[in-house]
Amino acid sequence: MSSVPDDLIQPFLIEASGLRGRLVRMGPTLREVIAKHNLSPAVKGLMAEFVILATTLSAALKFDGVFSLQAKGNGPVSLMATDVTSDGGIRAYANVPKNVSPSFVVDGSPVPRLLGAGYLAFTVDQGKHTELYQGIVDLQGATLIDCIHHYFQQSDQLSAAITLAAGSEESEGWRGGAVMIQRLPEDELSVRKEEMDEAWRRSTILMGNCEKKELTSAKLSPHELLFRLFHEDGVRVFKTNPLHFSCRCSRERARQIISMLSKEEIEEYKIDGRISITCEFCNSEEWFGDAEIAAARAT
């Protein structure tokens, strides 16, 4: 049995038009990101799509650091966040103040049903002394894809079209995938605008033919899927970028949180004389005893 490449970003180029794109495929990595959290199925479904969207958007930008996507709303899920590092490390988090019932159904409208009214924002953090790239859009539409297309329509910094799917099957667990094509300013230089408009329209229609199970399949290779979609116009593929679960938390970061707590807070949070700091992305716990708490607060 030949194994199909998984957990990757596959960059590609449509030869007839020169338009560039990215395919995202995620299996074991998506499972691991989601398995860190105890969430009801509807929220897991939203998180799966959120992680795929964040990874796809991160692939549209050139950066060296951390890409973060966040959604804040007044619905049952008050915050959802995903980080994607430039070396393909992914983690996610959802704040669900009131439990969402396991039988809760999103009826094809996860954004209004789970996030409610609010906004979707992304940032690129490249560390000190570099510019922060930011985008923000209201949560408008039934799905995350509706929201991000709304952003693309009003943005002059990022022009793209995305099709995305995620789902869970008993045999394979969570899987997801996306295809994105991008319209870059440099593409417009050598071609007449009408020609590029036509190529764009054609490519988005071809991309729209993609079925959910083709995007998420563990059996259909990324090359095969791209060939199916764009073979009439020719498609060239480039080196893939691997994806994996990774959390950036550490005992040192937990110690920094302790150092910022007041004396009253320390006493309030103590359990049997110790304090535990839990990472909200990976749920790992760091425990600190009195001596270490005192040392952290003295620095």
Strand 8-14 vs strand 20-26: parallel, antiparallel, or unpaired? Answer: antiparallel
- Give whichever of 6 and 32 is closer to Zn ion, judged by the CB atom: 32
Q: Is residue 282 at the binding interface for Zn ion, with CB under 5 A as the rule?
A: yes
Q: Applying CB under 5 A, which part among 120-128, 141-149, 170-178, 275-283 lies near Zn ion?
A: 275-283
- Give whichever of 38 and 209 is closer to Zn ion, judged by the CB atom: 38
**Interactions with Zn ion, residue window 231-260 (CB under 5 A):** 247, 249
Residues 289 and 273: beta-carbon distance below 8 Å: yes
Q: Where are the alpha helices (DSSP H) in the chain?
A: 28-35, 41-60, 110, 144-154, 193-208, 212-216, 222-230, 251-259, 263-269, 290-298
Out of 122, 151, 230, 281, the only residue in the binding site for Zn ion (CB under 5 A) is 281
- Give whichever of 23 and 69 is closer to Zn ion, judged by the CB atom: 69
Strand, coil or helix: 160: strand
CA 173 to CA 178: how far, in whole Å? Answer: 17
Q: Applying CB under 5 A, which part among 110-118, 181-189, 216-224, 280-288 lies near Zn ion?
A: 280-288
Q: Applying CB under 5 A, which part among 93-101, 149-157, 168-176, 274-282 lies near Zn ion?
A: 274-282
- Give whichever of 254 and 296 is closer to Zn ion, judged by the CB atom: 254
Q: Is residue 279 at the binding interface for Zn ion, with CB under 5 A as the rule?
A: yes
CA 87 to CA 89: how far, in whole Å? Answer: 6
- Give whichever of 14 and 279 is closer to Zn ion, judged by the CB atom: 279
Q: Is residue 50 at the binding interface for Zn ion, with CB under 5 A as the rule?
A: no
Q: Could you please report the per-residue DSSP string of 61-98?
A: S--SSEEEEEEEESSS--EEEEEEETTSEEEEEEE-SS
Q: Applying CB under 5 A, which part among 54-62, 68-76, 158-166, 278-286 lies near Zn ion?
A: 278-286
CB of 37 to Zn ion, least distance (A): 12
CA neighbor of 66 nearest in space, from 33, 89, 42, 46:
89
- Give whichever of 146 and 285 is closer to Zn ion, judged by the CB atom: 285
- Give whichever of 39 and 207 is closer to Zn ion, judged by the CB atom: 39
In this structure, what token pair is assigned to residue 206? 């071809």
CB of 45 to Zn ion, least distance (A): 22
CA 74 to CA 88: how far, in whole Å? Answer: 31
Q: Is residue 54 at the binding interface for Zn ion, with CB under 5 A as the rule?
A: no
Which residues touch 291 (CB under 8 Å, ≥6 apart)? none
Total chain residues near Zn ion (CB under 5 A): 5
Residues at the site binding Zn ion, with contacts judged by CB under 5 A:
247, 249, 279, 281-282
